[in-house]
C-alpha cells in the first residue's frame, strides 16, 4: 500500500509557514487542525482536512471546492485542489474528505466508439466532456492536429425526408443515405440501435479538434431545428410576404427532436467517433431519513412566492443546460426577495422636484417616457432587495458569494444579448446553487420560528 506523504513534503516544518485552507473564497486557515494530502499517481489525488470551527469565524460551503496550500515568506505552494466528497461532524468542527477530479468520477461514459484518434485528443475529449475547463488542461500533442472539415451527423425524430434536403444551413438525410457514417463498425449485435432514426441531420464544420467540430455542428443543427419549430408555430393567417398561410394543426404541433448520439468524421484524416456529447450523471439514490436537522419533514407556513422559489431552485439543480440553470437560480432569488421592502431613495418632495425640472419643450411621448422613468426611481434593484432579505433571515454569507451570483447573471445576460460567447463554468453554477439553497433553508427556518 502506498504511503501517504505528509503535508510537510516541501521541507518547511522548521521555517515560518502558514497553512492556507480555502473553500472557494472562504479562508478557514485558522480552523485547520491537521490533515493529509496524497498526490501519488498510483493511489489518486485526495486530501483529508480536520477543522475546528471554534478557532475561526468564517463558515465554509462544501460546494465551493477545497484548496490546500503552504504559504511561506510571501509565496504560496499549492498542495491540493479538489472537490469535497464527504464531511463528518466532530465535537468542535468537521473532518473533510476531498478528491481531485471527482467531477469525472461522478459521470458515466456512455457509448463511445472511435478510430484514428491520437491519445492526446482522446484524453482532451474525455477531460473536457467530464467538466474540466480549457485552462485546467495542458496536453502535449494537441497543437499537431491538422485542420480539416468534419461531418457531424445526428439522428433526428419528427422529420421525414425522402431525399437529401438542405434547410437552415444543415442537410437532412434519409436513413439509407446516412447509414454510411457507420461503415466499418461492427453493428451485428445492434450495439448502435439508438442511432437509428427516420432522418439524420448533417453539418459540415472546419476545425482542428473533433470536439470543437462536434460542439459547433450540434449548435448548427439545434439552431436549424429551432428555426423550423419557430415557423411551424406561426399561426397568423397572413405571412409577412402577404401570402395566405397554409396551416395544418397536426403538422404545426410536431416536435422535431435531436437524439443524444452524434457521429463525427474527419474528411482528411478519417478519424471517427460515435458517442454521446456529454457524460451521463452517475445514478445515485439516497436514504430518506428525516432527522429534524438537515432533512426536515415538516413544512412551515410558506407564501406562494417562497414555494415557487423552492421549485425554481429544484430546476436549477436538475437542469442540464448551464445558462438555463443560472436563469432558474435568479428566478428563485427573485421569488425569495419578493415582498421585501426597503427605504425609498427619493422622498415625495424630491420626486416632485425632479418632475418639475423636466423641460416643457419635450414632446408628449418624451414627457411620458421621462415620467415613467421618474415614477420608477424608488423601485429598488434586485440586489438591494436580496441583501435586505438575507439580513432579515440571518443568512451567513460572504461578499464574494454575492459577487459570484451577479457575475453569473452578467455572464448570462451578455450571452443573451450577444455581447459574449463565454459560458458559465459548471463548478461556479454548482456553488451558486448551494448559495441560493442556503437562502431558502434559512428562510424556512425563520418561517418555522414565526409559527
Instruction: Kindly report, residue by residue over 422-450, the tens digit of the pLDDT.
Output: 778 888 999 999 999 999 999 998 998 88
Q: Is residue 366 part of a domain?
A: no
Residue partners of 273: CB distance under 8 A and separation at least 6: 112, 113, 114, 115, 117, 210, 263, 264
DSSP state string for 262-282: EEEEETTT--EEEE-SSPEEP
Among residues 70, 102, 134, the one where a domain terminates is 102
Q: Is residue 61 part of a domain?
A: yes
Please check whether residues 151 and 262 belong to one and the same domain. Answer: yes
Q: Is residue 364 part of a domain?
A: no
Q: What is the pLDDT of residues 74-111, one digit of tens each?
A: 787 788 888 888 999 999 999 999 887 544 444 445 56
| Alpha-carbon dihedral sign for residues 295, 297, 299, 305 | positive
Please check whether residues 91 and 29 belong to one and the same domain. Answer: yes
Compute CA distances 163 → 151, 171, 280, 367, whole Å: 18, 10, 34, 59
pLDDT of 128 higher than 80 = no
Q: Is residue 371 part of a domain?
A: no
What is the per-residue pLDDT for 107?
47
Please check whether residues 130 and 58 belong to one and the same domain. Answer: no
pLDDT average, residue stretch 17-38 = 88
Please check whether residues 151 and 80 belong to one and the same domain. Answer: no
| Alpha-carbon dihedral sign for residues 440, 445, 446, 451 | positive
Please check whether residues 70 and 113 belong to one and the same domain. Answer: no
Please check whether residues 270 and 338 belong to one and the same domain. Answer: no
Q: Are strands 18-23 and 46-52 parallel, antiparallel or unpaired?
A: unpaired
Q: What is the pLDDT of residues 383-428, one digit of tens each?
A: 999 999 999 999 999 999 999 999 999 988 887 777 766 778 888 9
Question: Which DSSP helix (H) or strand (E) runs through 395?
Answer: none
Q: What are the φ/ψ torsions at residue 427 (nearest 5 degrees)? A: -70, -30
Q: Band the pLDDT of 1: cuts 50, 70, 90.
A: very low
What share of the chain in percent tops pLDDT 70? 85
What is the per-residue pLDDT for 240?
83
What is the per-residue pLDDT for 423?
77
Q: Is residue 312 part of a domain?
A: yes
What cell was used for 416?
443573451
pLDDT of 451 higher than 80 = no
Among residues 281, 296, 318, the one where a domain terminates is 281
Q: Is residue 347 part of a domain?
A: no
pLDDT of 317 higher than 80 = yes
DSSP state string for 113-130: EEES--HHHHHHHHHHHT
DSSP state string for 240-261: TTSPBPP--HHHHT---EE-S-
Q: Range of 26's domain?
A: 18-102
Please check whether residues 326 and 392 belong to one and the same domain. Answer: yes
Q: Is residue 375 part of a domain?
A: no
Among residues 102, 137, 154, the one where a domain terminates is 102
Q: Is residue 241 part of a domain?
A: no
Q: Are strands 199-207 and 46-52 parallel, antiparallel or unpaired?
A: unpaired
Please check whether residues 32 and 175 belong to one and the same domain. Answer: no
pLDDT average, residue stretch 213-224 = 91
Give me the number of domains the chain comprises.
3
Average pLDDT, rounded, for the chain: 82
What is the per-residue pLDDT for 136?
59
pLDDT average, residue stretch 193-218 = 90
Please check whether residues 53 and 173 belong to one and the same domain. Answer: no
Q: What are the φ/ψ torsions at residue 333 (nearest 5 degrees)? A: -65, -40
Please check whether residues 95 and 121 belong to one and the same domain. Answer: no
Q: Band the pLDDT of 207: cuts 50, 70, 90.
A: very high
Please check whether residues 76 and 31 belong to one and the same domain. Answer: yes
Please check whether residues 323 and 267 belong to one and the same domain. Answer: no
What is the per-residue pLDDT for 183?
64
pTM of the predicted model as reported, rounded to 2 decimal places: 0.67
| Alpha-carbon dihedral sign for residues 206, 209, 212, 215 | positive
Amino acid at each position: 500500500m502506498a504511503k501517504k506523504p505528509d503535508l510537510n513534503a516541501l521541507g518547511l516544518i522548521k521555517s515560518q509557514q502558514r497553512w492556507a485552507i480555502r473553500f472557494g473564497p472562504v479562508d478557514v486557515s485558522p480552523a485547520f487542525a491537521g490533515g493529509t494530502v496524497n498526490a501519488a499517481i498510483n493511489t489518486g489525488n485526495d486530501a483529508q482536512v480536520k477543522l475546528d470551527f471554534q478557532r475561526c469565524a468564517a463558515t465554509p460551503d462544501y460546494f465551493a471546492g477545497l484548496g490546500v496550500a503552504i504559504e511561506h515568506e510571501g509565496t504560496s505552494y499549492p498542495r491540493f485542489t479538489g472537490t469535497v466528497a464527504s464531511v463528518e461532524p466532530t465535537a468542535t468542527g468537521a473532518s473533510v474528505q476531498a478528491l481531485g477530479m471527482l467531477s469525472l468520477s461522478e459521470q458515466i461514459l456512455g457509448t463511445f466508439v472511435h478510430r484514428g484518434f491520437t491519445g492526446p485528443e482522446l484524453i482532451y475529449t474525455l477531460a473536457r466532456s467530464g467538466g474540466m475547463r480549457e485552462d485546467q488542461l495542458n496536453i502535449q500533442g494537441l497543437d499537431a492536429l491538422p485542420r480539416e472539415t468534419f461531418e457531424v451527423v445526428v439522428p433526428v425524430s419528427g422529420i421525414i425526408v425522402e431525399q437529401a434536403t438542405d434547410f437552415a444551413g444543415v442537410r437532412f438525410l434519409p436513413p439509407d443515405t446516412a447509414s454510411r457514417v457507420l461503415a466499418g463498425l461492427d453493428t451485428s449485435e445492434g450495439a448502435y440501435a439508438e442511432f437509428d432514426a427516420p432522418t439524420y441531420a448533417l453539418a459540415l464544420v472546419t476545425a482542428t479538434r473533433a470536439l470543437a467540430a462536434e460542439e459547433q455542428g450540434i449548435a448548427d443543427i439545434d439552431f436549424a431545428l429551432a428555426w423550423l419549430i419557430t415557423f411551424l408555430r406561426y399561426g397568423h393567417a397572413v405571412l409577412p410576404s402577404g401570402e395566405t398561410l397554409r396551416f395544418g394543426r397536426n403538422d404545426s404541433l410536431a416536435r422535431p427532436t435531436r437524439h443524444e448520439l452524434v457521429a463525427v468524421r474527419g474528411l482528411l484524416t478519417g478519424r471517427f467517433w460515435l458517442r454521446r456529447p456529454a457524460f451521463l450523471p452517475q445514478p445515485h439514490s439516497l436514504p430518506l431519513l428525516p432527522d429534524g436537522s438537515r432533512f426536515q419533514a415538516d413544512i412551515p407556513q410558506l407564501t406562494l412566492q417562497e414555494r415557487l422559489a423552492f421549485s425554481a431552485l429544484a430546476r436549477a439543480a436538475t437542469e442540464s443546460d448551464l445558462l438555463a440553470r443560472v436563469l432558474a437560480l435568479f428566478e428563485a432569488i427573485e421569488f425569495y426577495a419578493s415582498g421585501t421592502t426597503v427605504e425609498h431613495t427619493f422622498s415625495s418632495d424630491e420626486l416632485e422636484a425632479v418632475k418639475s425640472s423636466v423641460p416643457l419643450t419635450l414632446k408628449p411621448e418624451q414627457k411620458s417616457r421621462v415620467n415613467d422613468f421618474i415614477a420608477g426611481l424608488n423601485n429598488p434593484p434586485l440586489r438591494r432587495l436580496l441583501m435586505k432579505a438575507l439580513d432579515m433571515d440571518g443568512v451567513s454569507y460572504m461578499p464574494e458569494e454575492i459577487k459570484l451570483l451577479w457575475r453569473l447573471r452578467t455572464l448570462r445576460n451578455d450571452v443573451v444579448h450577444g455581447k459574449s460567447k463565454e459560458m458559465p463554468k459548471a463548478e461556479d453554477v454548482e456553488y451558486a446553487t448551494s448559495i441560493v439553497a442556503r437562502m431558502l433553508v434559512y428562510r424556512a427556518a425563520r418561517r418555522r420560528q414565526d409559527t
